[in-house]
Chains A and B, each alone.
Chain A
Amino acid sequence: MQININVNGTDHSLDVEPRRLLVDAIRSDLGLRGTHIGCDTTSCGACTVLVDGTPIKSCTMFAVQADGSAVTTVEGLKGADGLSAVQQGFSAEHGLQCGFCTPGMMLVSTALLEENPDPSEDDIRWAISGNICRCTGYVNIVKAVQWAAAAARNGGEEG
């Protein structure tokens, strides 16, 4: 099937089998390897992308379902001014170790901060609770999101 999706601001036209998972279209057909696969059951969130701004686990969505949508992957987080506040926060607060969950974590965090620029610790923990991290115990991921929220509030300056 022919589908049209916009990924990170670029339009793509893809010919995909109906059963093809969105994550495989992103990783294999578009070559965007920052979106990872950690489970097969929508449990871990390593494959999280934003579809029209909403976090979606791309291992549980067919590529054809994204036809006509705008998709943001980790590769789309960096802006013209450099790394986003969320990206900077993850590094500043040591919010990642092996890095495998990090793209998904940063994308749900980005969506959270769009909706709620001043989240409480519980808000953050709830927002990222669809994403599993096996390294950090989540402590510094929470701090990273708080750092990004503070940075955004301060006009892009360090939180």
Chain B
Amino acid sequence: MQTTTHHQPTTSPEIGGVGHSIPRVEDARFVQGAGNYLDDVNLPGMLHMAILRSPVAHANLVSIDDSAAMELDGVLAVVTGELMAAHNLAWMPTLSGDTQAVLATDKVRYQGQEVACVIATDRYIAEDALRLIDVEYEELEPITNPQRSLEADAPLIRTDKEDVTDNVSFTWEAGDQAATDAAFAQASKVVTLETHYPRSHPSPLETCGIVADVNPATGQATIYMTSQAPHAHRTLFALVAGLPEQNIRIISPDIGGGFGNKVPIYPGYVVATAASLLIGLPVKWVESRTENLISTGFGRDYHMTGSLALDEGGRILGLRTDLLADQGAFYSDAQPTKFRAGLFHIVTGSYDFAAAHVTAKGAFTNKAPGGVAYRCSFRVTEASYLIERLIQNAAYEIGMDPAEFRRINFIQPDQFPYTSPTGFVYDSGDYETAMQKAMDMVGYDDLRSEQAAARQEGRLVGIGMASFTEVVGAGPAHTYDIAGLKMFDSAELRVHPTGKAILKLGVKTQGQGHETTFAQIVAEELGIPATDIAVMHGDTDNTPYGLGTYASRSTPVGGGATAMVARKLRDKARKIAAHLLEASPEDLEWEPGKFSVKGSPDASVTIQDIAFAAYTNHPEDEEAGLEGVHYYNPPNMTYPFGTYIVVVDLDSDTGVWKVRRMVAVDDCGVRINPMIVDGQIHGGLAEGFAKANMQWITFDDDGNCIGSNFMDYLVPTAWETPRFELGETVTPSPHHPIGAKGVGESATVGSPAAFVNAVIDAVAHLGVRNIDMPVLPDRVWKAIQNA
């Protein structure tokens, strides 16, 4: 695929197809405060739920006395694990084949675990009642790191499993061990990096929540839920709760950010639904921020060791990585079934070499479970971070500039489709062009000169780079599924008689702008103005089945479905046009918005004429109407890439570093709405900066979560967040219907390594090769002192 600097739109601005930065349809309601988020859902008679959570990390549950709580005016029920067990709902399956406690029955296994729920007429009363519940715990040794978890004398966390004798949650490997060993045996140099990608939390500004409304007369369950995957959740509700699936309707209203946090099913959802079923009234539960941070899906927490084998000229011969995943108390990673460490084996990145081997082990600890793909495709962020950090260290060891080291090891444009040593087939790429563009934008050579001069003056300047490759768009049904559900996605398109249309999607926006960009795909394919197309999503009764929005899959999969259904309709439109023009379908030419007879451009009909005819004057041998549905099974994943360069100034006396420049060149294939793409990249870069600079979740030795609110869990404000300079190259995906690759997560995947590499680069001449994230000033200062 040819790489270009810009994709030229093929439709007019009035049609607003692919490539136009049209304004977002969503904005009108949001700027007027008229969005409809989960907490805005209020139903007649609705009750409120609050959750009592364990204050300790590891303890036997001795007793629960809820008598005082039950006496409080306004309290209807206190739900305990015992009650849930009576309905066979005390445990639920996770997305990784484990089981997770809904409400504790035997032990609590992390601080914040759900112990009891109060259902009351008012949230204030429900919270009051929590204080009246008396729980007796018998404390056990808390395990707060995976290294301790794997020691022979560590207490067993999963005593709920009869056949389990250790704290190992999974083991997994990918690649070719023998070939990798051989590559290392040949190496003239081996470079190793040990690092921890710390636990983080997606913390969308809207927390998770549910309003469960089970009608006792009909058995119909209407579940309003902050869900990134409403259809999958409907099926899981049916399987877990035993409700008939036709009676379940999941409505995911406007979502105030997801970032992976809203993919799993959480215990509170199960209890609220069970309570509504038992009481016969709607039940609302909305997390507090603390509940969100201490109990729901975290990201990362991978302890990683990576080694590169190099030849004398600096060519990479092989890569070996070993992972230790801190899983928390339950194995509830949200990821495709076949991949126990997600898609971490993309760790070979943008580089061409023959041998790689990945081993991974997960360990249970007394920490919250999760392992969601926090603004990334499954574990791709960890992989990208490790290889891009290793690359820079390798360049130092052989005395080559990191940019030059990348250049001589990049996969070349003529090698695509490229099969990686761990089995991915990269669709398209041109890594050197993107890197060169970023280097030109930032003025790389001048910066290197300035850096050298600064060192002479005792000033520290660092230039860090990451040339990432992502794998997104899960995915092809032969390889990818979530809990057995194949990862296709769908689109249903109905063109009304007046030429306006409604598009219904299996994916679900959380701020990405689907109501605008998916209309643009239809506009591109049918020539109907994007503003004439309504987009509906997030309601399982009114949209076709899909796996939802996460892992940058909406555009690669749902976008593919949208283009394909529009093409189906265009094929039918051609037949109707032929009927109207009294010509043969093969004699018609298409341009966006109309068919005309070849050689007689005046003999033409618009898509609007055709739509009207579909309901008023359709050909006798065709069905009436102009609508269709398409379930799109992508032939491959897509592989967005880019180069990010960060320049920092570092104060050696304090360890404080400031970002002077941040240049990001992204190649996500064809850009549907460049304005929205830039917005996605800005947000992702801020996330990457957050993790490099300040944002992490830690635990003390007792298993207390440090980072349980926004005063301790530091997410950057506008003041700390650096300015970003964006650039683009365009290398279309050869297999995607419109050549798009997905972009929502590239910047979060690629940028952490660029930030950290910049800090390391400022002190590399002192011998520093690693500082773990977040790269806090005290860590930098210590690294300098110890160098």
Contacts and interface: CB of A to CB of B under 8 A. Distances in A.
Interface of A: 17, 19-20, 27, 32-41, 43-44, 46, 73-75, 77-78, 83, 87-88, 90-92, 94, 96-103, 106, 124-126, 128-142
A102 B719 contact: no
Contacts of A44: 205, 289, 710
B765 interface: no
B35 A99 contact: yes
B218 interface: no
A34 B33 contact: yes
A8 B466 CA distance: 49
Nearest to A73: B33
B33 A43 contact: no
B255 A98 contact: yes
Given A136-B682, A140-B682, 12 more contacts: A33-B33, A33-B37, A40-B288, A44-B289, A92-B23, A98-B255, A126-B718, A131-B717, A132-B717, A138-B721, A139-B679, A142-B718
Nearest to B712: A41
Contacts of A128: 717-718
Given A40-B290, A97-B511, A135-B511, A102 B30 contact: yes
B97 interface: no
Given A33-B33, A34-B34, A135 B254 contact: no
A78 B32 contact: yes
A16 to B, nearest CB: 11
Nearest to B676: A94
B718 A138 contact: yes
A56 B143 CA distance: 42
A37 B511 CA distance: 17
21 contacts: A34-B33, A38-B207, A38-B256, A39-B710, A40-B289, A40-B709, A43-B709, A74-B31, A77-B32, A94-B678, A96-B31, A97-B511, A97-B683, A98-B256, A99-B29, A102-B30, A102-B31, A126-B718, A135-B679, A135-B683, A139-B679
Nearest to B254: A99
Interface in B679-708: 679-680, 682-687
A91 B124 contact: no
A36 B37 contact: yes
Interface string B268-303: 000000000000000000101110000000000000
Nearest to B259: A134
B204 A41 contact: no
Contact of A129 (B35, B675, B719): B719
A86 B31 CA distance: 9
A46 B682 CA distance: 20
Interface string B510-523: 11110000000000
B288 to A, nearest CB: 5
Contacts of B680: 97
Contacts, number: 170
Nearest to A87: B31
Residue with the greatest number of chain B CB neighbours at <10 A, chosen from A20, A88, A96, A125? A96
A87 B24 contact: no
B205 A126 contact: no
Nearest to A28: B42
Nearest to A124: B718
Contact of A91 (B31, B254, B510, B715): B31
Contacts of B27: 90-91, 96, 99
Contact of B205 (A32, A75, A100, A106): A100
A39 B256 contact: no
Contacts of A99: 26-27, 29-31, 35, 254, 256, 511
B281 to A, nearest CB: 17
Contact of B683 (A78, A125, A136): A136
A134 B682 contact: no
B723 interface: yes
B686 A43 contact: no
Contact of A34 (B28, B32, B205, B206): B32
A75 B32 CA distance: 6
Nearest to B711: A41
B362 interface: no
Contacts of B28: 91
Nearest to B41: A33
A98 B717 contact: no
B289 A83 contact: no
B717 A101 contact: no
B512 A38 contact: no
Nearest to B30: A99
Contacts of B687: 134, 137
Contacts of B719: 125-126, 129
A134 B26 CA distance: 17
B203 interface: yes
A46 B286 CA distance: 15
Contact of A132 (B32, B205, B676): B205
Interface in B202-232: 203-207
A120 B252 CA distance: 39
A101 B40 CA distance: 15
A125 B288 contact: no
B170 interface: no
Contact of A134 (B40, B205, B286, B678): B205
Contacts of A132: 205, 710, 715, 717
Residue among A73, A97, A133 facing the most chain B CB atoms (10 A cut-off): A97
Contacts of A135: 257, 511, 679, 683
B666 interface: no
Contact of B257 (A34, A88, A94, A134): A134
Contacts of A91: 23-24, 27-28, 31
Contacts of A129: 717-719
Given A136-B679, A138-B686, A74 B33 contact: yes
B724 interface: yes
B710 A43 contact: yes
B33 A98 contact: no
A135 B718 CA distance: 12
A74 B717 contact: no
A108 B392 CA distance: 42
A96 to B, nearest CB: 6
Nearest to A32: B33
A137 B682 contact: yes
Nearest to A34: B33
A110 to B, nearest CB: 12
A41 B205 CA distance: 13
A55 B256 CA distance: 22
A74 to B, nearest CB: 3
Nearest to A74: B33
A131 B257 CA distance: 15
A98 B511 contact: yes
Contacts of A96: 27, 30-31, 511
A128 B124 CA distance: 30
Contact of A38 (B32, B36, B40, B205): B205
Contacts of A77: 32-33
Given A38-B206, A39-B289, A87 B37 contact: no
B114 interface: no
A133 B205 contact: yes
A90 B738 CA distance: 29
Contacts of B37: 33, 36, 100
B352 to A, nearest CB: 32
Given A94-B675, A129-B719, A19 B205 contact: no
